[in-house]
Amino acid sequence: MNRFQQRKKDVLAKQDKSSIGFWDKRISKLCEKINSFEEYYTTSSCSGRVVLMIDQEKKGPGLFEFVSHDVVGFEELWKEIKKLSLKDKVKFKQNQNRKFFICPNLSYKFKQEPPIIHVACKDLKNAEIILKIGRKAGWKKSGILSLGKNIIVELNCSWRLEFPLIKGGRLLGGGFVKEVVNKVNWNLRRGWRAISRLEEEIEKF
């Protein structure tokens, strides 16, 4: 067994360390397909997600407040936002038909991210091949992240939304959130279609 195959064996034997703590089913079939080729193995993946999180410069653990890998409803999201506000002992104040949450400490943002896969490749030629297949299947924001011992290709789609949600304690546009839910779910579904298309393109390979 060569070094690449040994690393592949080690990585695939590892337990899932993702923040959701279980396999992301919508992308696992695609990952299995990629892993069935001896030239590739996946190191991480996400089928797309909706996130409410603390908005700060520094990355770190404990920033995620809500994560959904499925389409969301406004009521569900709104409940999560209210939970968020209770958790931080936010005061609730009604003002001219607009609702403000008072929470001076934290800012939160909303993110909808497209599908993403990191693929370790045996050599550069294989990196180039999967990059091209990915682009063809609509994964337009793809690139090689690292060369050398570990050649990693990131396959990523482009359909994303991101905006601040709570700033200096004040909820920005609750009504706005209602309006963007459709777009969010549309983007998630586009991502799932891109996963299927990539499966098909890899099938042809």
110 within 8 A of 39, measured Cβ to Cβ: no
Coil, helix or strand at residue 5 = helix
Q: Which position among 30, 116, 119, 127 is part of the footprint of a second copy (CB under 8 A)?
A: 127
Q: What residues from 21 to 40 belong to the interface with a second copy (CB under 8 A)?
A: none
Closest to a second copy by CB, 54 or 161: 161
**Shortest separation between residue 165's beta carbon and a second copy, angstroms:** 10
N-terminal to C-terminal alpha carbon distance within the chain? 24
Is 82 near a second copy (CB under 8 A)? Answer: no
**φ, ψ at 173 (rounded to 5°):** 50, 75
Closest to a second copy by CB, 87 or 98: 98
Q: Which position among 18, 179, 189, 196 is part of the footprint of a second copy (CB under 8 A)?
A: 179
Q: Which position among 176, 189, 193, 200 is part of the footprint of a second copy (CB under 8 A)?
A: 176
The pair of three-digit structure tokens given for residue 22, joined into one six-digit string? 């279980």
DSSP state letters, 47-96: --EEEEEE--SS--TT-EEEEESS---HHHHHHHHHHHHHHTT-EEEEET
142 within 8 A of 158, measured Cβ to Cβ: no
**Shortest separation between residue 101's beta carbon and a second copy, angstroms:** 13
Is 173 near a second copy (CB under 8 A)? Answer: yes
Residue with tokens 């570990």: 150
Q: What residues from 36 to 75 belong to the interface with a second copy (CB under 8 A)?
A: none
Closest to a second copy by CB, 13 or 140: 140
Burial letters 171-188, b for 16+ CB under 10 A, else e:
bbebeebeebbeebbebb
Q: What residues from 129 to 168 belong to the interface with a second copy (CB under 8 A)?
A: 131, 142-148, 154, 160-164, 167
Element (H, E) at 161: strand 161-167
Closest to a second copy by CB, 9 or 93: 93
Is 93 near a second copy (CB under 8 A)? Answer: no
Q: What residues from 96 to 115 belong to the interface with a second copy (CB under 8 A)?
A: 96-98
Give contact residues for a second copy (rule: CB under 8 A).
96-98, 124, 127-128, 131, 142-148, 154, 160-164, 167, 170, 172-173, 175-176, 179-180, 182-183
